Amino acid sequence: MDHLLTVEQAAERLGTTVRFPRRLIEERRITFVKVGRHVRIPESALDAYVSAHTVQPRRPRLLRGVA
């Protein structure tokens, strides 16, 4: 079973305010679990979201004509 995070815990792990994960939930951009009236975010879903939105740096291009 995956560890479930509160919205506050998810915001802390992301380094954002609580508003950001709430918006992700509202827009259905992240997987979440409803436990009664409470909303929880699986740790794996948060990790997957971060991985999917991680931008890798570009390799520097070689300058042409420079000796």
Distance CA 24, CA 58 (A): 28
Distance CA 13, CA 19 (A): 13
Angle at which helices 43-52 and 7-14 cross, to 10°: 30
Instruction: Decide: helix, strand or coil at residue 34.
Output: strand
Cβ-contact 5, 41 below 8 angstroms? yes
Q: Write out pLDDT tens, residues 5-53.
A: 999 999 999 999 999 999 999 999 999 999 999 999 999 999 999 999 9
What's the pTM?
A: 0.80
**Measured between alpha carbons, how far apart are the two ends of the chain, in Å?**
59
Whether the pLDDT of residue 65 is over 70: the answer is no
